Structure 1
Amino acid sequence: MISGFRRIAGLTTISRVLGMVRDAAFAHFFGADWLMTAWAMGFKIPNLARRLFGEGAASASFIPIYSEKLIEDKAEAQTLACTMVTVIVALLSVVVLIGEVVVWTWYAFFETREGVRLGLALCGIMMPYMVLICCVAILSGILQVHRRFSAPAAAPIVLNLCIIAGTILAGTLLDMPPEKQVFFVAVTVLFAGVAQIALQVPSLRASGVRLRPAWHIHMPAFHRVFVLMGPMILGLTVTQLNTLLDDLIALAFMTQEGDPLPYGAPSFLYYAQRLYQFPLGVLGISLATAIFPKMSDEAGRRDFEALKTTISQGLRVVLFVALPATVGIFLVARPLVSAIFEHGRFTAKDTPVVAWTLCFYALGLCGYFAQQICARAYYAVQDSSTPAKSALLAVGINLVLNLSLIWVLGVAGLAAATAICSYVQVVFLIRGLRRRFGAGLLMGFKKTCVGTCCCSMVMACVGWGLIWALRGLPETFLFQCVRLAVIVPVSAGVYMAMARAMHLEELSLLTARRGQ
């Protein structure tokens, strides 16, 4: 489990760093005004599909059934895999075709603002990426069951490299105007999708998987996958759905004078979301992805004591890594936003808004991380209805909180609502898991909580001391990087040293050698 987590986390770190480079390029060439808002709108639907399927329901519903079939009948497992890929491609091709008709009809016949029209055009160009990334998701699920984590984890690296190359090429060598740059970058997204599929092929061959078109839609295993998938789309990706709701409300409440949100609010949210999703992807989703095949295998063998232990360890490790990540974001939010984004069309007046919003998103990191573990625990035992119910509850509460908090906190109110809802969902899910597996599910959690809080408080004190010591440095790009280079490693080192001194088991789990 831990070796798989390390591999996924390492590749995800590379991907997220490249994502920061990508967003820095966006900030330089597109800024935080209508151009970036148009890109955020245009990429929202294909990106949501990537999160729903690439990090969500397609692989989560497929992995438990495929794992079970590999044990029972390898030939049937192969047939299931082929049918899943064929059906997903066929269904989503129809969805994309309908979406293209709607988008281009709206673009052609309805009067909209310039930024909205550009966003519609970009959405139309990038919508076919939905088919490509969902195909990647199924292929990744197959590879994860065969304990091959590298190619699936490397797929987002390909996407980021293509977008970075497209952005820099369009803005420098081709010297395109900004309005044409975004169209060029949109085309590179489609190229990236094809490259992501190609990346999975060698690992599939090495695993002995031979895919071909198949349409065995009447096989019981296929029906079970699709029965699980619907509720999983809602249950596993509620954080992404809540951030989408944030974006829609930001767009709706910035259009008229007197609205509570500033113009460009979707852009501010976009940049803040990119930063808080860095630790979520590197740590939270990576850990959940690594242990999900193990949970599915234990559930398939009906070894529920082992499954309970795996869930417990996962939740404790989540707290151990998420709480210091939250503290770290609070310590470096301002210099982090400034160093990455504050250049080109992104100005100094945009930095405090994004940093403030980022801090409120960070308050929910423990909840976001725990969601990933808890939801997959249900999916391992093929229960997709409970996470779906919790997601409906969270989305409803998020809507009410969004419409309330924007009048008090502005853009940051949208982030605060999402953070609060993450804990509501986790409480709901953990109560259900304890009823299913017993109170021992949280065995050792109190010790982890106390130890992690103590270590994080010491880390925070050291971090704030460093901020005070460096307060006289100019707020230029170079010195913001100096702040980050001092505060981040020293604070992280203090946290790790404290954890080692307190003999926290979670540190041992993360640093254990392979096979231990």
Structure 2
Amino acid sequence: MAIATLASRTAGFLRIVVLAAALGLGTRLLDSYNVANTLPNAVYELVFGGAMASIVVPLLTRAALTEPDGGVVYAQRLLSLMVYGLGAVTLVAMAGAPWLVDLYAPGFTAEQRNLAILLSRYFLPQILFYGVSATAGAVLNIRGRFAAPMWAPLCNSVVVIGVGLIYLAVGGSTGIAGLTPGQTTLLAIGTSAGVVAQMALVVWALARSGFPLRLRLDPRGIAIRRIGRLGGWVLLSVVAAQVLLTAATRAASLSGPGAITAYQNAYAVFQVPFAVIALSVMTAMLPRLSRSAARRDHEHVIGDLSLAVRVAVAVMAPIAVAMVVLGQQIATLLFGHGHSAPATVSLLGLVVAVFGFALVPFTGYMILQRGFYALQDTRTPALITAGVSAIGVAGCVAAGWLLPSADIVVGVAVAYAAAYTAGLVATAVVLRRRLGRIDGHRLVRTHFHVLVAAAAGAACAALAVRALTPLVTPGWTGSLLTLTVAAVAGFAGYVAAGRLLGLAELRQVVTTAMSGIRPT
């Protein structure tokens, strides 16, 4: 599962890079494509995606344990409900495609808007495909089959990477006016074909497991009202996240050609270290945290949360420094290919640098929220998430009003950093009231030591960049050399300063990720 997750995320990031090279980073074409491709994901998450892990999986598990047939009929009815319900949602979304595009991208030109509407009507059926894939994957997990759902996103990315490479090979246009019907069809059908491939693999694996695939005309009997009650607070969290995403995309659309893509790609870069590293820490910590909470052993809950935050922050800080200091080199190395516009690559580098300031507070915020989930409290984190979203939306609106158009997308990244910092503080305060304490003195001391060590690392990396800039040529090769040398220098400075400050969490990283050792 770990290998499949890493492979899928790597392929997903490579997909972003290939599409940027094929369609041209900074072009109105790529902005239209990205907005159209955002819509099915946003609608799916709003309608169903957020409820999958927290509601549907427990209900499937209960049915498998209590029903005489092992929950087969229940699962068939649930899958049928997904097909009927999401099918209807898909039709409504396709009819409302112009409204959805206007909601997300009010700054589009008429040409961009028309293309985004056309592409979105090809892409919106993905809502149904995602729903079937997720539900079939949940049934597989309940039956002890984990491989196919983990590898399925890789199939999606491989198909879309192939589409991007074919588009490059045939000399596809980077301008909307030069887009031929064949090129449009390749992008439209090829992108949705990736989601179909993802769904097909999971459904095939479900059939191979011996589960009888059958749509039931009457999907009643799956406790729809119970699903609705359980999903209320989860829905609030999902709505809040989608509102922030919408506000950020709207603000970026006002920042000129390429700004939406710069925001989305910078956010993707920001998410990679969290997904690969911080999630590993949380995965190692959560099972024992839940057991301690079930026993009402709050001392161990506090200790586990404190250790997880301290270790994660110690690991994420040098990555945040790399994003801040080396944002331009990261952007050039990843996206300075094909038809990418140098000005947009430079803008992307600046947005990556600003997102670096959000990485550490976002990590701490996400880990501390797991404390509420372990206590079986979904209401409190939902309300805090709504507050975080409100701060982020206000920041995006302020950026659109106060900043020059070219800087609005940078202001969006600042809004994210402010929102997650406020979310971290609020979560810590509320959790402290709930548990009585959260090991605050040790957390503050670790954060201070990490800040000092990160500053030392940043200084070393910045000096390396300054020394190398006159010696290397601009472009991919120079960026690779600068990034490599500066990253090594910055990491060495961070580790050296950490050792002088007695930053013990650096030594605990491997053991915590692997076995979750309790703090002494």
Which residue number in structure 2 is paired with residue 504 of structure 1?
504
**TM value normalised by structure 1:** 0.81
Tell me the secondary structure at the aligned position of residue 473 of structure 2.
Answer: coil
Which residue number in structure 2 is paired with residue 27 of structure 1?
20
1-structure distance, mates of 2:117, 2:34: 11
State the number of aligned residues.
497
Which residue number in structure 1 is paired with residue 93 of structure 2?
99
The one-letter amino acid of 2:111's match is: E
Deviations 1:183-236 (A, max 9, x none): 42332332222332344468768999777656675556x644433334324425
Tell me the secondary structure at the aligned position of residue 262 of structure 1.
Answer: coil
Alignment counterpart, residue 185 of structure 1, candidates 187, 197, 210: 187
Which residue number in structure 2 is paired with residue 383 of structure 1?
377
Percent of pairs with identical residues:
22
2-structure distance, mates of 1:388, 1:440: 20
Alignment counterpart, residue 247 of structure 2, candidates 227, 245, 248: 245
Deviations 1:460-491 (A, max 9, x none): 23212321231221112111122223333554
Structure 1 position 181, deviation (Å): 3.3
Structure 1 position 71, deviation (Å): 7.5
2-structure distance, mates of 1:265, 1:431: 36
Q: Does residue 337 in structure 1 map to residue 337 in structure 2?
A: no
Structure 1: gaps spanning 5 or more residues: 1-6, 255-260
Structure 1 position 346, deviation (Å): 1.9
Which residue number in structure 2 is paired with residue 43 of structure 1?
37
Q: Does residue 283 in structure 1 map to residue 277 in structure 2?
A: yes
1-structure distance, mates of 2:109, 2:467: 51
- Bigger CA drift: 122-131 or 407-416? 407-416
- Aligned 8 A contact 1:236 1:375 in 2: no
Q: Does residue 394 in structure 1 map to residue 394 in structure 2?
A: no
- Bigger CA drift: 71-80 or 236-245? 71-80
Structure 1 position 91, deviation (Å): 1.7
Q: Does residue 328 in structure 1 map to residue 322 in structure 2?
A: yes
The one-letter amino acid of 2:481's match is: V
The one-letter amino acid of 1:396's match is: A
- Aligned 8 A contact 1:20 1:340 in 2: no
Which residue number in structure 2 is paired with residue 362 of structure 1?
356
The one-letter amino acid of 2:478's match is: F
- Aligned 8 A contact 1:228 1:382 in 2: no
1-structure distance, mates of 2:135, 2:166: 32
The one-letter amino acid of 1:33's match is: T
Indicate how the Cα distance of structure 1 residues 440 and 29 shifts in structure 2: closer, same or farther if over 3 A, else same.
closer
Indicate how the Cα distance of structure 1 residues 164 and 323 shifts in structure 2: closer, same or farther if over 3 A, else same.
same
Q: How does 1:59-458 map to 2 (within 5 A)?
A: 59-63=53-57, 81-103=75-97, 113-141=110-138, 151-173=148-170, 178=179, 180-200=182-202, 213=215, 217-218=220-221, 223-235=225-237, 238-239=240-241, 241-251=243-253, 254=254, 261-285=255-279, 287-288=281-282, 307-406=301-400, 407-408=402-403, 409-440=407-438, 444-458=442-456
Which residue number in structure 2 is paired with residue 478 of structure 1?
477
- Aligned 8 A contact 1:280 1:369 in 2: yes
Which residue number in structure 2 is paired with residue 258 of structure 1?
none
2-structure distance, mates of 1:507, 1:70: 43
Structure 1 position 100, deviation (Å): 1.4
Structure 1 position 16, deviation (Å): 3.9
- Aligned 8 A contact 1:145 1:293 in 2: no
2-structure distance, mates of 1:244, 1:458: 37
Tell me the secondary structure at the aligned position of residue 343 of structure 1.
Answer: coil
2-structure distance, mates of 1:367, 1:237: 22
Tell me the secondary structure at the aligned position of residue 97 of structure 2.
Answer: helix
Indicate how the Cα distance of structure 1 residues 149 and 282 shifts in structure 2: closer, same or farther if over 3 A, else same.
farther
Structure 1 position 411, deviation (Å): 2.0
Structure 1 position 494, deviation (Å): 5.4
- Aligned 8 A contact 1:39 1:122 in 2: yes
Indicate how the Cα distance of structure 1 residues 440 and 171 shifts in structure 2: closer, same or farther if over 3 A, else same.
closer
Structure 1 position 125, deviation (Å): 0.6
